[in-house]
Structure 1
Amino acid sequence: MLRINRLVKRYGNGEPVLKNLDLEVPGESVVSIIGASGAGKSTLLRCINRLVEPTSGSILLNETELTTLRKEPLRRARRRIGMIFQGFNLVDRLTVMENVQCGRLGYIPYWRAALRRYPAEDIERAFQLMERVGIAHYANKRADELSGGERQRVGVVRALMQDPDILLADEPTASLDPVTSRQIMELLQKLADELHLPVLINIHNVGEAKEFTQRIVGMRFGRIIFDGVPDDLDQEAMDAVYSGTSEDEEESAHRSSTDKVAT
């Protein structure tokens, strides 16, 4: 279970990118985050795994408060948060197996990784997962010899090798063609079910969000303005997420509403 309470992220003295955001993601669910560019979707995911430092608020993952962790406790917590990136983030000169084993770096001594002396059980697990996603036959192939879809499958397996408590996916299909995009989304959906794993996906393709996720969260200007099942995302909700009032108008309306409550 992921619980986020009153999360704020501000860069410098500017307006917050995330504004007192609340969100819960229970186990075994696939949740998509939609919204226009600049809504705060990627920042939210990066705050969860502490690639970006939150300004304030609480992020609880299975009762562990992530925002207060430092050094070794933070490293231990991060290894249980799998991350799939839009740009794949593979090491091109390494083989598929070596890239996949990068998911175990938080668990094995540095010398093992440096010498490519991976534990036998990790190699066996990697082959099982690669077979599951259809890339086992590429185990000894360099990452830069793969197609986009194959590279993203390597990224998925690398994240799963962390034995994560939650899987975060930041625009996992943005660099892929439409057919491959659907295949990756279907794969994430099935893996979440098979592994009983909560998955939080930042995605621009609303059609894929409605087809492959159980719940959709719509963000605008750092706030959640829609949270529901795909069937509830009608045109009115879409307009609110993508073509609602300007940020200044929204802030004014929010202050006005707050003033009325206060009086």
Structure 2
Amino acid sequence: MLKITDLVKRYGSGEPVLKNLDLTVEGETVVSVIGSSGAGKSTLLRCINRLVEPTSGSIVLNGAELTKLRGRELRMARRRIGMVFQSFNLVDRLTVMENVMSGRLGYLSTWAAVSRRYPKEDIRRAFELMERVGIAHYADNRADGLSGGERQRVGVVRALMQQPEILLADEPTASLDPKTSEQIMQLLRDLAGELKLPVLINIHNVTEAKQYTDRIVGMRYGRIIFDDAPAALTEDAMEAIYSGSPAADRAGAGLKEAS
């Protein structure tokens, strides 16, 4: 279970990007985070895996307080947090298999990592996952020869090779065409169920959020103002999340209290 309490992120002396945010994600739930650009969605995900340092607050993953970890303890905790990126973050000159296996680097000694000596069990698991997502036949191909959807599947498998306790996805479909976007969202949903894995997705496409996720969290100016099932995302709720009017602010406060 991921439990975030009173999370604040501030850059310098400016207005906080995240404002006393509370959020709990558990089970094999697929949760989408929606909101306008600048709402704090990406910052939220990056605070969870400590790519961005929280200013204050608590982030607990299955009993471990992530905000207090440093050095080796932090590196070990990050192994348990899978991340799928909008821009794929693959090494283009490496093969699909090499990119996938990089998800195991946090579990290897320095010598084994440099020499790329992976345990047979890791290699077997990599082929199983690549077969599951439909890219096993590309194992020896360079990553830069793949389509966007294929590259994102490599990114998903790389994250799963970490054997994560939660999977974070930061705009995983933003660089993809509509059909491929739907395929990736369906894949994430299916994998959540198959692997009993909670998934937290930052996404701009509200239609996909409603179709492929179990719960929608709406953010505005660093606060969560909506947290409910997709069916509860009414036009009024959308107005509160995306409009900048004072009336929408009051509506959003009401929505948060109701949820």
Q: What TM-score range do you get, normalising by the shorter chain?
A: over 0.9
1:200 CA drift (Å): 0.1
Distance 1:75 1:91 in 2: 21
Distance 1:60 1:142 in 2: 38
1:187 aligns with 2:187: yes
1:60 aligns with 2:99: no
Instruction: Provide Cα deviations, 1:174-230, integer angstroms capped at 9, x if missing partner.
Output: 000000000000000000000000000000000000000000000000000000000
- Are 2:29 and 2:198, in contact at CA under 8 Å, matched by a contact in 1? yes
1:11 CA drift (Å): 0.3
Distance 2:54 2:245 in 1: 26
1:101 aligns with 2:108: no
Matches within 5 A, 1:32-47: 32-47=32-47
- Matched positions, count: 251
1:126 aligns with 2:144: no
Instruction: Provide Cα deviations, 1:88-146, integer angstroms capped at 9, x if missing partner.
Output: 00000100000001100110112222222211111000000000000000000000000
Distance 2:209 2:58 in 1: 27
Secondary structure of 2:188's match? helix
Distance 1:250 1:222 in 2: 13
Instruction: Provide Cα deviations, 1:63-86, integer angstroms capped at 9, x if missing partner.
Output: 100000000110000000000000
Whichever residue aligns with residue 237 of structure 1, its letter is A
- Are 2:165 and 2:198, in contact at CA under 8 Å, matched by a contact in 1? yes
Distance 1:116 1:162 in 2: 16
Residue in structure 2 matched with residue 149 of structure 1 by the alignment: 149
- Are 2:3 and 2:24, in contact at CA under 8 Å, matched by a contact in 1? yes
Structure 1 unmatched runs, 5+: 255-263
Residue in structure 1 matched with residue 243 of structure 2 by the alignment: 243
1:161 CA drift (Å): 0.2
1:18 aligns with 2:18: yes
Residue in structure 2 matched with residue 31 of structure 1 by the alignment: 31
1:245 CA drift (Å): 2.5
Matches within 5 A, 1:92-241: 92-241=92-241
- Are 2:219 and 2:241, in contact at CA under 8 Å, matched by a contact in 1? yes
**TM-score normalised according to structure 1 size:** 0.93
Residue in structure 2 matched with residue 258 of structure 1 by the alignment: none
User: 4+ residue runs of structure 1 moved beyond 3 angstroms?
Assistant: none
Distance 2:132 2:113 in 1: 24
Give RMSD over aligned pairs: 1.4
**TM-score normalised according to structure 2 size:** 0.95
Distance 1:203 1:111 in 2: 38
Distance 1:95 1:111 in 2: 21
Distance 1:20 1:232 in 2: 24
- Are 2:240 and 2:249, in contact at CA under 8 Å, matched by a contact in 1? no
Instruction: Provide Cα deviations, 1:136-164, integer angstroms capped at 9, x if missing partner.
Output: 00000000000000000000000000000
